[in-house]
Amino acid sequence: MNSTRRLLVTGATGKQGGALIESLLSRPSGNPFQIYALTRNTTSRSAQALASKPNVSLVQGDLDDCPAIFKKIENPWGVFSVTTPIKGAEVEEKQGKALADAAVAAGVKHFVFTATDRGGDLRSEGNPTPVAHFASKYRVEEHIKEVSKKSEQSMTWTFLRPVAFMENLRPDFLGKAFATMWRQNGVDRKLQLISTKDIGVVAAEAFVKADTDEFRNKSLSLAGDDISPDEANTIFRKHVGTDMPTTFGFVGSAIKVILREQLGTMFQWFVEAGSGADVLALRKRYPGMQNFETWLINTSAWKK
């Protein structure tokens, strides 16, 4: 990789996009990428923090007008695509597909999309699941494959399929609610978890090795641990000295009813089907990938 490659990062001020940028900038071999960080507000504190980093430029825009984004980047080489269901799964799907269309039209060569695991590397194929924001990401994946094929693979792709984020566990109300809903699935029932920091590490690899069989038109489910609430609580008590923070059970139950499409169905799917990433193989492939304990000590809101 001799020449600089221009890389658009969506969700740049969020956890996954930020983790990718951090990983690319920290690589010991240097950074062959010029990073274009997409943000709606270039004057925000988080955006300005990114702008202060080497090889990072801010691009103002949003996913409701994807062609306009690429008009601001000359000869874009890569795209890191993060979609969220904040405005609903239908909007998420529309934005994800539109970004892929605009990327092909702009001549992008490699497109990395962070979707979600739907039962492991094999079962995720052809399995949208009943969870609305899982299914929307599945349909975005299928669309990316289609536009890549129509482009005669002038744009290749990598799909990263993370499981539930460790960062969902935090000391605020939302973190307590997540821990409570997790426990309600059964204190001995395991849940696969991944740190967003490690998603960034693997995403960086996907761009650096985009031309290799390891990542070219490949998908990979990502998990750093497979752990039950009781196991997690034991580790939490060991390092923090208290039980993992939760809230009242009726609060967790109410949230799953009120947000049935987003959270209720998802936690039910965790019980009935569940994630299927190969944690042992991933740890072998990425020795630095964090399990729950290393995340708690080194990365979480409770790190010393």
What is the per-residue pLDDT for 1? Answer: 47
- The string of pLDDT tens digits covering residues 48-82 is 999 999 999 999 999 999 999 999 999 999 999 99
Same domain, 98 and 181: no
What is the per-residue pLDDT for 184? Answer: 97
Same domain, 73 and 200: yes
Q: Is the CB of residue 244 less than 8 Å from the CB of residue 301?
A: no
Residue 157: CATH number of its domain: 3.40.50.720
DSSP codes, 255-301: HHHHTIIIIIHHHHHHHHT-----HHHHHHH-TT---HHHHHHHTST
Same domain, 111 and 205: yes
Same domain, 174 and 77: no
Radius of gyration of the chain (CA): 19
What sign has the CA pseudo-torsion 240, 242, 244, 246?
negative
> In whole numbers, what is the pLDDT of the chain averaged over residues?
95
What is the per-residue pLDDT for 28? Answer: 76
149 exposure class (CB count in 10 Å sphere: 0-12, 13-18, 19+): exposed
Q: Is the residue at 273 inside a domain?
A: yes
Q: Is the residue at 304 inside a domain?
A: no
What is the per-residue pLDDT for 31? Answer: 66
What sign has the CA pseudo-torsion 120, 96, 15, 154?
positive
Name the amino acid, one letter, at 77: W
What is the per-residue pLDDT for 19? Answer: 97
What average pLDDT does this structure show over 119-140?
A: 97
How sure is the predictor about 121, in pLDDT bands with cuts at 50, 70 and 90? very high
Domain that holds residue 288: 167-192+225-299
Percentage, residues of the chain above pLDDT 70: 98
Q: Is the residue at 84 inside a domain?
A: yes
Same domain, 230 and 208: no
How sure is the predictor about 12, in pLDDT bands with cuts at 50, 70 and 90? very high
Whether 195 shows a pLDDT value over 50: the answer reads yes
What average pLDDT does this structure show over 259-272?
A: 93
- The string of pLDDT tens digits covering residues 28-44 is 766 689 999 999 999 99
What average pLDDT does this structure show over 19-23?
A: 97
Distance CA 274, CA 94 (A): 26
What is the per-residue pLDDT for 261? Answer: 85
Strands 191-194 and 225-227: antiparallel
Number of domains in the chain: 2
Same domain, 148 and 174: no
Distance CA 113, CA 100 (A): 9
Same domain, 218 and 286: no
What is the per-residue pLDDT for 197? Answer: 98
Whether 125 shows a pLDDT value over 60: the answer reads yes
